[in-house]
A = this chain, B = another copy of it.
Amino acid sequence: MGYTVKELCEKVSGARFEAQRLSAEEKNRVLIDAAKRLEDNAEQLLAANAGDIKAAEEAGMSPGLIDRLRLSKERIEGMAEGLREVAALPDPVGEVLEEFTRPNGLRIRKVRVPFGVVGIIYESSPNVTADAFALCFKTGNACILKGGSDALASNRAIVAVLKEAITEAGFNGDMLGFVDSADRADAAELMKMRGLVDVLIPRGGAGLIRAVVEGSSIPVIETGTGNCHIFVDESADLEKAIPIIVNAKTQRVGVCNAVESLVVHKAVADRFLPMLDKAMKEHEVELRADSKAGAILTGAVPATEEDFGTEYLALILSVKVVEDIGEAIEHINKYHTSHSDAILTENKENAERFLRDIDSACVYVNASTRFTDGFEFGFGAEIGISTQKLHARGPMGLKELTSYKYLVEGDGQIRG
């Protein structure tokens, strides 16, 4: 890169105060201008991307991954539109979260502030570059982006355009840092920049997330992995259940909020499993069943213990029959990833018990797990879906990219 990761982080950290002082109007102006510049520079971005695509093809990358890497005029327009949408959202910075006066007269305000420097480590989709920048910039954070090595040329070109929008507006381009390197050691180095980077967010598959969680000395927000379960209770409306399960499994495969495992109350197994069988065959979903479910389903593969703990990200669904809701809750809490789980039931008491006892970011009653998403929740943006409990849980929008501080005003108070 011509400089070390540490030097890059120091530059970005040096620009963080300028970032946090930007007004909403200034930030929106840069974002809208950056959108136009992405569109205006589409040819240049496509040329850079063509180089990445060629190298990936020569390296024998799978068609699915190459598709993820590929830019097109439409995708660039999509990126630009994304920036405009973020510009249109309310600015969360400066919001007074609490305000109170103590008996000694001290006036205390708890105010929303940017983190400072946010690091984002992600995989091959180059559109994440513009998206991650927009969310960080809008929230007054300086950011450091480290994308996938396969997308290096594409990301470099996108960052150049974004930086131009910042500097042409008269602001410090160092608010956006880019690890211009395909070297894994540089990603590892970034994870050690505690003190210069306030929070690190990995966006990508389970392997990337594990590597960041285990390797980082910076506080990490863990996102992503979703081994989601649906429990079909004995009182479930079975006609309603099928479309929910079909939606949760097949509307989009390979996403973290897709269902991976079905838990069925024994009282409805005889009636429900044949309905499921038929629907899943229509949608070419492979079923992997425990012995009780397997005795009713036709042609299901026997499920192993490992199946229940697996996020397939494929047209596969594991099925288990349980004695009661208690066993269902215990089973789900044991095997899920605390992302999203649903109960299908017409029994209010069981719904409430499930909502209370399932230890997940999002717990559903009679709806598809696919709704766990910043846009579906109405946040207008999404930086990821947190599966940890510290700081943010579930879909993370703009607010989740902020911290707070206490402003305390007095007139000479001392502690007695």
Contact = CB atoms under 8 A, between A and B. Distances in A.
Contacts of A244: 412-414
Given A410-B367, A412-B240, A405 B388 contact: no
A390 B389 contact: no
Contacts of A199: 389-390
A412 B368 CA distance: 8
Contacts of A414: 243-244, 246-248, 251, 367-368, 370
B390 A391 contact: yes
Main SS of chain A's interface residues?
mixed
B405 A394 contact: yes
A278 to B, nearest CB: 18
Interface stretch (A128-136, A147-155, A161-169, A349-357): A349-357
Contacts of A194: 213
A414 to B, nearest CB: 4
A234 to B, nearest CB: 18
Contact of A405 (B108, B363, B403): B363
Given A199-B390, A389-B199, A116 B219 contact: no
Interface string A347-375: 00001000111011111111110111000
Contact of A102 (B221, B355, B377, B404): B377
B21 A405 contact: no
A96 interface: no
A219 B222 CA distance: 10
Nearest to A221: B390
A402 to B, nearest CB: 9
Given A370-B415, A389-B198, A414-B243, A351 B409 contact: yes
Contacts of A371: 106, 408, 413, 415
Contacts of A240: 411-412
Protomer copies: 2
Nearest to A416: B251
A395 B389 CA distance: 19
A405 B213 contact: no
A368 B415 contact: yes
B17 A411 contact: no
Nearest to A199: B390
A405 B414 CA distance: 40
Contacts of A198: 388-390
A74 interface: no
B333 A378 contact: no
Contacts of A395: 406
A407 interface: yes
A324 interface: no
Contact of A367 (B213, B359, B409): B409
24 contacts: A17-B357, A21-B357, A100-B378, A108-B377, A115-B389, A115-B390, A194-B213, A219-B390, A240-B411, A244-B413, A246-B414, A351-B409, A360-B405, A363-B407, A364-B409, A365-B407, A365-B409, A366-B411, A367-B409, A367-B412, A371-B415, A391-B391, A394-B405, A394-B406
Given A17-B333, A21-B357, 13 more contacts: A116-B389, A198-B389, A213-B217, A219-B390, A240-B412, A359-B405, A361-B405, A364-B409, A364-B410, A366-B410, A371-B413, A371-B415, A390-B391
CB-CB nearest 10 A-B residue pairs: A367-B410, A247-B414, A389-B403, A391-B391, A370-B415, A219-B390, A367-B413, A362-B406, A240-B412, A365-B409
Interface of A: 17, 21, 100, 102, 106, 108, 115-116, 194, 198-199, 213-214, 217, 219-221, 237, 240, 243-244, 246-248, 251, 333, 351, 355-357, 359-368, 370-372, 376-378, 388-391, 393-395, 403-415
